[in-house]
Amino acid sequence: GGLRGATVIDALDTLYIMELEEEFQEAKQWVEKSFDLNVNGEASLFEVNIRYIGGLLATYYLTGEEVFKSKALELGEKLLPAFNTPTGIPRGVINLGRQGTSSQHGMSWSWGWASAGSSILAEFGTLHLEFLHLSQLSGNPVFAEKATQPCLSSLSQVMNIRRVLSRVEKPQGLYPNFLSPVTGSWVQHHVSIGGLGDSFYEYLIKSWLMSDKKDSEAKKMYDDALEAIEKHLVKKSAGGLTYIAEWRGGILDHKMGHLACFSGGMIALGAEHAAEERRQRHMELAAEITSTCHESYTRSDTKLGPEAFRFDAGSEAMATRLSERYYILRPEVVESYMYLWRLTHDPKYRHWGWEVVQALEKHCRVEAGFSGIRDVYTTTPSHDNMQQSFFLAETLKYLYLLFCEDDVLSLEDWVFNTEAHPLPINHTDFKA
Ligand code: DMJ
């Protein structure tokens, strides 16, 4: 029931960067003529933000074409009612139906599966980059001061989220994944750098980078969070592989999701700018995690990695459950290869990336595009017949950038949102 055209919008900037002019024009026309923002149905605040708003903003910045900016702003406005909660922490789901045509217009609610009506850290914690740009582009200079009128300002919304998070007590410095939008307290003590937590950490360090290193509050929150992660979650397996475990109320779950593999790239990116004593340690940690994620690929028969892999009961970097053996064209491992390549120029990252290109060709290419596979441990894989939109937005873009010169979307000038949409670093007038 949600918005249509995720693949078209998620792919726009990739088409543009790859100079696929004809396909780009076709996609642009679709945005101009057929993109309907007023869909009466369930839409995820997080997915709309990272895929649609991120994709439209990036394409606007790359091309300067107004249509992308105006659609991004329109969509951003439509998300604001989700923040109308006692704490200002948004709920996860919103109805985008047009006012007057839908009784549910602007209504928001929590995911049915989320613990006791809670909001999810990786969802409400992954709005900052896009919302800062929405605020700047809307040209309204009073946005930053509108904190008392929560529905009017996208910047004040995300600054408020940060305020709630910096105030709430964190068990051993860690951020649990579920928070009540009503009370502002944690609902459950599950901590993960993978699914449900992941991009919250990513947006802290990237907020600082995007502000041209002026947003020191974000940098401090990132540094403190990473310190707690290093202390409590980073482990080494019997076979010498470094991994980041999950934490359930104090008990470690020795598992890493494919999603958690983005952290190699994130930690490397942060290390680049860290104080001397941390720089080397974090660079090593980033390289070790990326190497562990590479192991999860090489230990499979298809050379693609499973959805989750474990370090227990004699297993090392392999899925132990049938339900975790699938690969849905996710980008996180090649994303880390791209960052590590750019930051170290160690050729192994290009080799590893090329292994993925070959495996994708061999096992995922189907008549109409690319498909996920149900089991990475068999070379006669069964396809799931889905091409996730992040395959075009992220997986192919990161692979392409891995083999480009460093000045194509230079890390000096751009940060990638969590869906790999590039947003420009504000080299001039950051205000928050
Ligand atoms: C993407 O939509 C984003 O990278 C998100 O942060 C996590 N999951 C998918 C890709 O796996």
The Cα 96–Cα 89 span in angstroms is 18
In this structure, the dihedral spanned by the alpha carbons of residues 263, 431, 179 and 57, taken in order and rounded to 10 degrees, is -60
Please identify every stretch of the chain with a pLDDT value under 50, giving residue numbers as ranges. Answer: 141-152, 432
Structural element, H or E, at residue 369: strand 369-370
Task: Please return the burial class of 287, using the count of CB atoms within 10 Å of its CB with bins 0-12, 13-18 and 19+.
Answer: buried
The Cα 58–Cα 269 span in angstroms is 20
Which residue of the set 10, 307, 316, 419 is catalytic?
307
Which pLDDT score is estimated for 145? 31
Enumerate the CATH 1.50.10.10 domain ranges in the chain, comma separated: 1-175, 192-421
The Cα 90–Cα 161 span in angstroms is 9
Q: Give CA separation, 58 vs 52, 123, 313, 393, in Å.
A: 10, 20, 45, 11
DSSP-assigned states of every residue in 371-412: --BS-TT-SSPPB-----HHIIIIIHHHHHHHTS-TTTT-TT
With b for 16 or more beta-carbon neighbours within 10 A and e for fewer, the 419-430 pattern comes to bbbbbebbeeeb
DSSP-assigned states of every residue in 107-176: -EE--TTSGGG-EEHHHHTS-HHHHHHHHHHTT-TTGGGGGGSGGG-HHHHHHHHHHHHHHS--GGG---
Give catalytic status of residue 307 as yes or no. yes
Which residue of the set 23, 47, 253, 284 is catalytic?
47
Give catalytic status of residue 74 as yes or no. no
Q: In the block, which residue shows the tokens 């991004």?
A: 72
Which pLDDT score is estimated for 155? 80
Best of 307, 330, 386 to mutate for ligand 1, by most ligand atoms within 8 A of CB?
A: 330
Which pLDDT score is estimated for 113? 85
Which pLDDT score is estimated for 215? 96
| Atom nearest to 199 CA in ligand 1 | 6
Ligand 1 mean position, distance from CA 121 (Å): 14
In this structure, the dihedral spanned by the alpha carbons of residues 213, 218, 221 and 224, taken in order and rounded to 10 degrees, is -10
Which CATH architecture describes the domain 1-175?
Alpha/alpha barrel (1.50)
DSSP-assigned states of every residue in 254-310: -EEEGGGGGHHHHHHHHHHTS-HHHHHHHHHHHHHHHHHHHHHHHTSSSS---SEEE
- In this structure, the residue with its CA closest to atom 3 of ligand 1 is 419
Fold of 192-421: Glycosyltransferase (1.50.10)
**Nearby residues of 25 by Cβ (< 8 Å), 6 or more positions away:** none
